[in-house]
Each structure stands twice: as structure tokens, then as C-alpha cells.
């Protein structure tokens, strides 16, 4: 299992670099990220969250019973949003911002170009929860956290909670 870095670690603000080598070391990283994500009860994880500044992310949405199945795993490399529409408010959390959840405004649907672990070019259309998860993880690749999307009042609430946690 990999260590998940947490806010305010400056690595989280780094812009991740495109992946060019779709080799065994990438496959091992993706597999380790998957195990880490499941172990931490996450639905998504980006490589930068495990201190690897490369454009790779995973998403595995749970089914109606809350179970995550490997056949539903999306391994997304070098994603590029090509279309975005609508608006949705979604209560988000983050493995790198533990124990804090807040509503964030996102696009309700989007289309992306990406590559899989073998470098094959693919396209994906996503709505609602999947669209939100994709935007959240793609933001990570660009050095953006969901707390950056909060209103000033909600951001101050977060900073106050963070200070209290550090004291205890």
C-alpha cells in the first residue's frame, strides 16, 4: 500500500506531467494505487496523492450496496476534458483532505479523451457522480483541491476545523 499525502503538503499543488511510458512500472503503480484507494475507502485517487506527479487517476464507483468491484475500475491516463455541460452540487470529500466534506459546484456531464494503461486512446462520457469524481481527480492533476472551490465562508470553516484538529 502507498502513503497518501495530505493537505497542506506542497506536492498537492504541483501540476502533474503527461505519461509517455506505458510500461510495467506504470502498471505496478496503478495496481498499488487501486489497493491504496480501496484500503482508504476512496472512490478515486490520483497519482499525485501518492507523491507521483504524473497524469494518472483511478475511479471505482460503488454499486447500490456500497461495494466496489474491479470490473468497474476506470484507469485514466492523460485525461483531457473536451466537453462539459450542466451544473450539479455534490458533497465531496478527499483522501488528501481527511474528515472534511463540503458541497462543491461541478459540471453535471462531461466528455473526456484519455489513455488506458496500455496507451490506447479512448473517450468517455460521464454524468452526475462519475462526472463529479472525474473533475475532482483531474483537478488534482492540475494542483487544485476541492477546498479551492469553496466559498470564502466555507473555506474559513475548513481552515478553522484544520487548526482545531492540529491542536488535538
Binding residues: 94, 136, 140
For the full predicted model, state whether its pTM sits above 0.85. Answer: yes
Q: Any idea which architecture 10-167 has in CATH? A: Alpha-Beta Complex (3.90)
The CA–CA distances, whole Å, from 166 to 8, 95, 161 equal 12, 17, 9
pLDDT tens readout for residues 24-41? 999 999 999 999 999 999
**pLDDT (tens digit per residue) in 65-74:** 989 999 999 9
Query: Is 3 a known active-site residue?
Result: no
| Domain range list for the chain | 10-167
CB atoms within 10 A of CB 55: 23
Give the residue numbers of the binding site for Fe cation: 94, 136, 140
Q: Cβ(125)–Cβ(109) under 8 Å?
A: yes
Amino acid at each position: 500500500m502507498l502513503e497518501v499525502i495530505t493537505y497542506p503538503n506542497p506536492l498537492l499543488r504541483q501540476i502533474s506531467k503527461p505519461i509517455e511510458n506505458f510500461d510495467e512500472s506504470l502498471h505496478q503503480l496503478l495496481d498499488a494505487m487501486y489497493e491504496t484507494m480501496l484500503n482508504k475507502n476512496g472512490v478515486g485517487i490520483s497519482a499525485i496523492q501518492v507523491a507521483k506527479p504524473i497524469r494518472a487517476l483511478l475511479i471505482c464507483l460503488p454499486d447500490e450496496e456500497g461495494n466496489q468491484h474491479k470490473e468497474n475500475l476506470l484507469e485514466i491516463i492523460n485525461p483531457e476534458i473536451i466537453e462539459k455541460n450542466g451544473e450539479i452540487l455534490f458533497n465531496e470529500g478527499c483522501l488528501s483532505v481527511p474528515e472534511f466534506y463540503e458541497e462543491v459546484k461541478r459540471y453535471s456531464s462531461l466528455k473526456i479523451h484519455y489513455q488506458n494503461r496500455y496507451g490506447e486512446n479512448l473517450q468517455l462520457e460521464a454524468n452526475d457522480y462519475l462526472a463529479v469524481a472525474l473533475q475532482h481527480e483531474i483537478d488534482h492533476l492540475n494542483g487544485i483541491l476541492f477546498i479551492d472551490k469553496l466559498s470564502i465562508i466555507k473555506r474559513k470553516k475548513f481552515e478553522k476545523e484544520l487548526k482545531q484538529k492540529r491542536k488535538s
